[in-house]
Amino acid sequence: MTAPLTPPPPPHDDSAHQVRQAPPAAAPFAGMYEQDGPGMKTEVREAAVVTVAVTLGGVLLGLLWWWLAPHVPLIADQVDKSWVVYIKDTEGEQAVGVDGTFTLLGLAFGLVSAVVVFLWRRRGGVPLVVALGLGGLLGSLLAWRLGVWLGPESDVIAHAKAVGKGVTFSAPLKLGAKGALLAWPLGALLVHLGLTALFGPRDPEEAYPA
């Protein structure tokens, strides 16, 4: 008599006891928190280069201002052995034109410097923007002082004595509206901000897990 066959035991399903280790939640997003850009040290070095380069552009601005700014005509007279200087054309707008010329040139230089900096480094960054504004301000100050130095004699009485009584001569080149010094940095910052918003690189969209 043959003994009944014992069926093999069913496979042991220990799936309930197995510990399934889920991938770390931060793994899909690890690349999103990596440092963006070349690094802070590199950005600071680039910002220093931009500051120096933009500031040196003030030499060209000063030369153009000295060349293009209108001259304010003065005339001298001698009263009781004292020299008195008058503006020859009291209704002229040459003094306003001097400030206007500096302002327009500053805006033009701000536009050019912003475009050049953006084309050189499209990613931008806070150090670069600060360098652009600081360089524009320093360049404006350099242009102002250079134009005054290249312009007519700053000592009006000495100049009047040199040319003589009743002879027309040019007034010193001076900037009446000191706010014109901000035309370059403000123009550069606005143009650079617009270029970055329109043509700058976009951040990748976050991919959320299913």
Q: What is the pLDDT of residues 141-195, one digit of tens each?
A: 999 999 999 998 888 888 887 888 878 888 889 998 999 999 999 999 999 999 9
Element spanning 86, H or E: strand 82-87
Q: In what order do the strands lie in the sheet with 82-87?
A: 82-87, 73-79, 168-170
Percent of the chain whose pLDDT exceeds 90:
41
Spell out the residues 6+ positions from residue 123 whose beta carbon is closer than 8 angstroms to its own. 37, 200, 201
Q: How far apart are CA 184 and CA 195, in angstroms?
A: 16
Q: What is the band of 209 on the pLDDT scale with cuts at 50, 70, 90?
A: low
Q: What is the band of 67 on the pLDDT scale with cuts at 50, 70, 90?
A: very high
What's the whole-number mean pLDDT along residues 103-126?
91
Q: How far apart are CA 77 and CA 83, in angstroms?
A: 6
Q: Which of 71, 91, 75, 102 shows the shortest CA–CA distance to 156?
A: 75
- Quick one: pLDDT at residue 156? 82
